[in-house]
Every structure is written in structure tokens, then in C-alpha cells.
Amino acid sequence: MLRAAKGHKTDPKDSQWLAHLLRHGLIRASFIPPRALRELRDLTRLRRQLLNDSTSERNRVQKILEDANVKVASLLADPFGVSGQLILEALLDGTATAEQMARLVKGRARAKVPELIAALEGHRMSDHHRRMIRYSLQHLAFLEQQSLQLDDEILRHIEASGLAPALELIKTVPGIQQDSAVSVLAEIGPDMSVFPSAAHLSSWAGLCPGNRRSAGKEKSGRTTRGNRWLRTTMTQCAWAASMKKGCYLKGKFWRLAAEGKKRAIVAIAHNLLVLVYHVLATGLPYQERTGLVEERNQQRRIRHHIRALGRLGINVGVHPTP
């Protein structure tokens, strides 16, 4: 079906003509995943929405604590971790003193007991605040239960659909773990023949720069819109790959980050999606080429030092050791 442009009407003959061309193979059909893949998409997208709801609920609890003058979020790495949960339960009980609550923390947070006492003294936690926090905690418990049930349902669906081998291949790509691999598989499927090349897949995901050139001048190269679900997942995986030791993508990220981390992370996400395309197209797991990466890094350091000495007026000749 054609979508009419703003201010124009749709001619039904255009739709008939496109259908006629498609019937004779004169235009490329859109990517319509099979039913099993569409059902997996529904499950993974619902799970992501539940995670977003959980994040919103945690932010709501944090806002209530700030309103009650409880300033522990700046002292604890995770306000909803073990130490944060213990303090929150004591606040809801309303009988413990600031010192008693501060000494409930575990692990490294014990070094911050004096700061926690100062943050908890003089709090204005009222019955209304406690009631609102309890509502949010009940909702969080429900969301966590739903997420666990969805995880089990997703794994059963993958096994029943025969998608487990493709999932294991995607997990070999650096930066992609179980949940992200499931999301990627749900969006692109195991069959890469539907995409003419890795570049087409990247463009479909919205991870390739736009090509805008006019009169020999390069204009804005912002990325295309693409599949927002896949784009978000690959961006998150790119951050993980940029911190992975022994991965060539980490070095590439920091080289590109000099021009901006946002552009660099999109470039790494593009590389990851290309790797996913190749492992699914070939059926072979990803292998990190550590020897080649180390050699490239060594050659790069050599060129850097030669240029630095050249700027000082010293000419250096390269003679590799036998």
C-alpha cells in the first residue's frame, strides 16, 4: 500500500502497478519475517518495554526520596542494590535512627558510613512518602516477575523454532550477550539472504551515515532512522565492546572518540552489525584476530614515534631486526 505524501492523494492505480511489478520480480520485496520470528519480536520488544517501565519506576522512587530529603543516591553505586534495599526497608519501617540505617550497608559502602549518616539525618520521610514508595516497590516486583516469565518463554520459543544455532553464533561476536543476542536475532532473523549485503543490513538498521552531497560539497551525514529496536540494541552492545580487553574494536573506538564519542559508538555499532551479518551468512563463529591486531598496533606506534622524531629534525630509518 502506498503512503500519500503530505498534500497529495493516493492513486489506487499506483498500488496496482507496484503489485504487478512485484508479481513479475521487477522490484525487491520488503523484508517480512516469518511468523515464528514475528512472535519472537513481540516477546523481546515487550521485555524491553518492561525494563523501561522498571527504570521509570526506580526513578520515581528516587524522586520521592529526594523530596523526603534522603540523599543516599550520590553515595551508593546502586541505590537499589543490597545496601540500598536495606536502607530503604529501614526508612519504610520508620523506627531506626540515621546511624542504625547507615550501618546496615555491606561491602565497600561501609567506608561511607559517616557520609551516609549525614545524608540520612534530618530526613522528612512521611506516611505519604512511605505509601507512594510501597506502591512503586509492588509494581517493581510485578515487573520483575513478568520479565522472568518472558525470559523463560523466549528461550522456549527459540528452541521450538530452531533458532538456537543462530543465537549461539551471534553470541560469539564481542559485546553481545544473551539478552542482546536474542533481541538481534528477533529483529534480523537467521537468514541473511534477505539482505543483499552487510551494508544493506546496516542501512536498514539506521547505523550507516547518510550520503548528502551537492555541488561537490559534503553536507550533514546524520544516520538514517532505520529499525529503532535493533539500533538501540547494537548501540548498547557497542559500549560493551568498547570496554572489552583484547578486542580490536576497543582500540578503534578510542581512535574515533577524538572526534566525538557519539559518532565513535555508532561506528562501532555498525562494525558489530557487519560481524553479525558475516557469522550468520557463513555459519562460522567469530574469531578474534589478536595477532593481526597486535601487529597493527605495533606498526602504528612505530609510525607515531618516527613522525615525532621527524618533527624534532631527526631522520630515522626503519631496519627490522632479523
User: Mean pLDDT across the chain, nearest whole number?
Assistant: 86
The tens digit of pLDDT for each residue in 44-70 reads: 999 999 999 999 999 999 999 999 888
Report the C-alpha gap between 84 and 76 in whole angstroms: 7
What is the CB-side half-sphere exposure of residue 91 using CA atoms within 13 A? Answer: 31
The tens digit of pLDDT for each residue in 228-279 reads: 999 999 999 999 999 888 788 888 888 888 888 888 999 999 999 999 999 9
Across 66-80, 166-180, 212-226, 301-315, the highest mean pLDDT is recorded for: 166-180
Between residues 254 and 218, the one the model is more confident about: 254
14 CB contacts (<8 Å, ≥6 apart)? 2
Using CA atoms of 39, 43, 44, 46 in order, give the dihedral in degrees to the nearest 10: 130
Residue entry with cell 565513535: 264
What value does the mean pLDDT take over residues 107-136?
A: 88
With H, G, I as helix, E, B as strand and everything else as coil, classify residue 27.
coil
The tens digit of pLDDT for each residue in 84-96 reads: 889 999 899 888 8
pLDDT of 215: 65
In this prediction, what percent of the chain has a pLDDT beyond 90? 43
Does the pLDDT value for residue 2 go beyond 50?
no
Q: Give the Cβ contact number of residue 236 at 10 Å.
A: 18
Residue boundaries of the structural domains of the chain: 35-161, 164-208+222-298
